[in-house]
Chains A and B, each alone.
Chain A
């Protein structure tokens, strides 16, 4: 089955969970900006959590389906419709042949389709590496009239559709628990683990980092989010040797405006590192719009790991629940 792009939106790309292991070649990890939204969207349509899905920046996306399918939209502030009728986010939604799925509004919306998008595997992953121009759909953001192939849905995915058909419903009655959804906001507080150069901040800048809010600047992209606020300064200037960075690294270029490295970040960097946003709070950053603002709060590595492991347990529980309900033997188990 295939999907025709009627409106590509501002930047819609095919993404998965990225290319962690190719970092030693200098290849950016890439993948979904909001991994949690990506994984839950895939869960809702019966896919493996790393199946390729669409990631849409803001809105104005329209997709036409040539065959029945199940989709799920996840992210912050989503407004979407199917042939003009509103559909809910964070639910499995049944799409009939010929239907037009429209995303009117959102921040970074994942659209997962049962079966997953069928694009070639390049360097062990299906995500689009925009800067290098490979992976995903022809190594680029989607354009009008592009036609995307969808892989054969799993049995689980087919059963999710079958249940909706049997119930004559468009959207599923079940969902993942609310506790699994990140607390998205236009003014979130994100937690970070202070990094090596945090100790070099002047007293005033350290106070500002922990107390002020930082506004997302428009010149932000999948590589890094730039923030404006009171310029931060270090007590000493150091020209540093490039070293590994990661998702959520808060860099401080000499201009004093911090940058949070995002999915398409470089593998290494040479600017001072104030710290790293913890994994469970990265979705809150990923879903910011230009003009939104965040505050930082520091936590320890142990606290971050406790939060991460708790989230992974919750995701595993949700995943087991979907398997129990829709996999072979699930009917008997109930």
Chain B
């Protein structure tokens, strides 16, 4: 029988986080997707929400209906019987981005941090083939895997109190798009007019975990025209 070495850590008194420190990046996404689906299907008593992230699955629970110890046993038993298979490939979702200037105030800082030009940063960012590792932080906010290592940039020392909707940013080894104006600590390199979340849509998010994504550079004029016609 296959085992998936894992750790379980309390996240306060109404949630816990399952981590897989030894599982490699190629396997973790499929493992999390399948574990998340299994927990969703089992609907164990007292579990109120599941939040898959890049390397972790967080379960929220109601302590009057279950206990930490009961959930630990459930998780270990579930992982012991889990067979992991890769997800089916999908067509990429293309997201237009106007890089730099007023829309990407941190582009020059990011370029300076990597000793290169803003144009090279844009070229590297649009050349990437990205996969949605998770949705989180804000409704429909995609954390994208596949960022060129040459673009990895630490978050800002102090988060901005407001980042505009549609902002495209880099946070560490991830890149993503802010669906709404929000406080945020990522380095902002551009902006897209595409709506990533609409509560009346089913599903409400443009992207799902596992989707493929490409960015294309557009001009300021094209961005405004797109925003006006969609």
- Interfacial residues, chain A to chain B (CB-CB below 8 A): 20-21, 23-28, 122-123, 129, 131-135, 193, 195-196, 219, 223-224, 239-249, 253-255, 266-271, 273, 275-279, 301, 304-305, 308-309, 312
Contacts and interface: CB of A to CB of B under 8 A. Distances in A.
Given A196-B9, A249-B11, A312-B64, A268 B137 contact: yes
Contacts of B48: 20-21
Nearest to B53: A243
Nearest to B171: A270
Interface in B38-88: 48-58, 60, 63-64, 67-68
A22 to B, nearest CB: 8
Contact of B54 (A20, A132, A243, A254): A243
A20 B159 contact: no
A129 B53 contact: no
A272 B113 CA distance: 23
Interface stretch (B98-106, B180-188, B212-220): B180-188
B129 interface: no
Contact of B68 (A224, A273, A301): A301
A24 B50 CA distance: 6
A196 B182 CA distance: 26
Nearest to B183: A223
B92 interface: no
Nearest first, the 7 A-B pairs at minimum CB distance are: A244-B58, A276-B12, A268-B136, A304-B13, A26-B135, A266-B137, A239-B172
B31 to A, nearest CB: 15
A253 B185 contact: yes
A279 B54 CA distance: 26
Given A131-B138, A248-B12, A253 B159 contact: yes
B157 interface: yes
B205 interface: yes
A50 to B, nearest CB: 13
Contact of B134 (A131, A242, A312): A242
A267 B185 CA distance: 15
Given A131-B138, A253-B158, A268 B53 contact: yes
A279 B11 CA distance: 11
A15 B34 CA distance: 34
Given A245-B11, A248-B12, A24 B53 contact: no
Contacts of B12: 193, 246-249, 275-279, 304
25 contacts: A25-B139, A25-B204, A26-B139, A129-B139, A131-B181, A224-B183, A239-B172, A239-B173, A241-B54, A241-B173, A242-B54, A243-B17, A244-B51, A246-B14, A249-B12, A253-B155, A253-B157, A254-B155, A267-B51, A267-B136, A268-B53, A269-B137, A277-B12, A304-B12, A304-B13
A241 B139 contact: no
A132 B138 contact: yes
Given A239-B172, A244-B58, A271-B185, 10 more contacts: A23-B51, A132-B138, A132-B179, A132-B197, A240-B172, A241-B56, A249-B11, A266-B138, A275-B12, A276-B13
B73 to A, nearest CB: 16
A278 B13 CA distance: 6
Interface in B129-166: 134-141, 143, 154-155, 157-159, 161
B14 A279 contact: yes
B95 interface: no
A78 B199 CA distance: 35
Interface in B112-134: 134
B138 A28 contact: yes
Nearest to B198: A134
A268 B51 contact: yes
Contacts of A312: 64
A28 to B, nearest CB: 7
Which of B36, B171, B204 has most chain A Cβ within 10 Å? B204
Contact of B51 (A24, A253, A275): A24
B192 interface: no
B138 A21 contact: no
A199 to B, nearest CB: 12
B203 interface: yes
Nearest to A275: B12
